[in-house]
Amino acid sequence: MLLLAVVLTATSCEEVIDVDLNTAAPRLVIDASLKWEKGTDGSNQEIILSTTTGYFNQNIPKVSGATIFVTNSTGVVFDFLENSEVPGSYICSNFIPTINEEYALTVMHDGMTYTATETLKPVPVIDKIEQKDDGGFIGENIEIKFFYTDDAATEDYYLFRTKLSRYSIPQYSVSGDEFYQGNQIFGIYSNEDITSGDKLDITLSGISESYFNYMQVLLSIAGSAGGSPFQSPPATVRGNIINTTQKEKYALGFFTVSETDRVVYIVE
């Protein structure tokens, strides 16, 4: 009877608390990550426009009616046209990627013009993949290592994206070659839930130093909150996109142009 009384007392104390959060005015979010995967011509690219929204809102508002184009250093213009079937998605089918070429992004929407510039960074190939079945702190987890060889002649930065087939959200990390320049190095993926037959999608991207710094901050914030870097962060992280019409009404997001190498590994 005493136990029953304690349970009843505990449950009777439950109360729904409404948290009143201040909601700022919506801000434009520009997802402009152009990726040239090795083995493709890189002609098909996509830029996504959306706006910020309330913390508890599960639907992300998409932005239609914008004018978007990317210009290379010789003045060639690549137009991104809105997909009539997918609001907020702007598609280019004739993009020409060139290693170390500088590209300028222009987004015009609601009387504002947003711009950014980036250089397309190269990436080495993923040399090999190794599986270790006794990894982790207690030697019971499967570990996947993917190796690549850094270019000794340049200062390089990398973005790693790994996605296990059983999960909907990928994992991200970044690295610079300061301590392994010119050497073969590896990235590692380990998860207690990984099993034989799972597919691990691995993408290695060459990125600029500015994007490396941006992602370091974003991943630090997302990690402290237990989320993905591409979910709404608990603090504002400014990218390289500038509102040239009204500076204080800046957009969120980053314009980056990368060469990538991708391998899908089937866990043994």
Kind and range of the H or E element at 218? helix 209-225
pTM: 0.85
State which CATH number among 1.10.530, 2.60.40, 1.10.1740, 2.50.20 fits the domain covering 28-122+231-259: 2.60.40
Q: Closest Cα partner for 262 from 84, 129, 93?
A: 129
Distance CA 80, CA 88 (A): 11
Contacts of 173 (CB under 8 A, 6+ apart): 159, 160, 187, 219
Q: Closest Cα partner for 251 from 104, 94, 41, 48?
A: 48
Task: Output the pLDDT for position 222.
Answer: 75
**Percent of the residues in the chain that have a pLDDT greater than 90, as a whole number:** 73
Q: Which residues of 219-239 are buried (b: 16+ CB within 10 A; e: fewer)?
A: bebbeeeeebbeebbeeebeb
Distance CA 106, CA 125 (A): 31
Q: Are 47 and 64 in contact (CB under 8 A)?
A: no
Task: Output the pLDDT for position 23.
Answer: 62
- Residue ranges, the chain, pLDDT below 50: 1-12, 224-227, 231-234
Task: Output the pLDDT for position 220.
Answer: 87
Task: Output the pLDDT for position 228.
Answer: 52
Rg (CA), the chain: 22
Q: Between vectors from CA 231 to CA 230 and to CA 237, what angle results, nearest 5°?
A: 70
Task: Output the pLDDT for position 230.
Answer: 52
